[in-house]
Amino acid sequence: MEEALWRQWYPRLAAYIRCSFPSLGEETEDVVQDCFLRLLRVRLRGDPAPLFYRTTRNLCIDRLRKKKAVPLTDEAGSIPDERSDSAEDRMIAEETRSEIGRAMQSLAPADRELCFLRFYEDLKVREIALMLGKPEGTIKFSLFRAREALRIALEDSHG
């Protein structure tokens, strides 16, 4: 069971770390391993996404505090998308991901993290609120503001 969880969650958590905490760089795998070691002791019930992301986030923040680094820049454009079939579809999808990645760089770090969790990982507002320890209303408002900033950034990139 642990191996199946590892195969399912390693790519997702690694992408989350690269997007939200890129200054950790080569420590990404270590953070994911630490997360799994901590969660092996926990009996997972229901959807494990909030627990996985919250644990990973806390581990990243702990490491950054030790480094005294600033979290959250962007690598969101590097998240794999395997849904496209033709070469043309893959090229268009890659170009779109690049545009979105560049637009996400213009967002505030907290907004970038929210967008990643909501739109790349498709977490529900309730799950994000639980993970971040904030009220759902705050998350909804922050997502609204982040989505608007992302829209404006994408419009600016198209002239």
Cα dihedral 62, 116, 129, 2 sign: negative
- Separation of alpha carbons 120 and 81, rounded Å: 10
Over the stretch 128-152, which tens digit does the pLDDT of each residue have?
998 888 999 999 999 999 999 888 8
| CA R_g for the chain | 16
* pLDDT tens-digit map of 58-101: 898 888 888 763 444 444 444 444 444 677 777 777 777 778 77
85-157: CATH topology is: Arc Repressor Mutant, subunit A (1.10.10)
Q: What does the domain layout of the chain look like in residue ranges?
A: 2-67, 85-157
Contact present, 36 and 5 (Cβ < 8 Å): yes
Tens of pLDDT, residues 10-50: 999 999 888 888 888 888 999 999 988 888 777 777 788 88
DSSP structure class, residue 78: G
pLDDT at 116 over 70: yes
The angle that helices 125-132 and 136-157 make with each other, rounded to 10 degrees, is 110
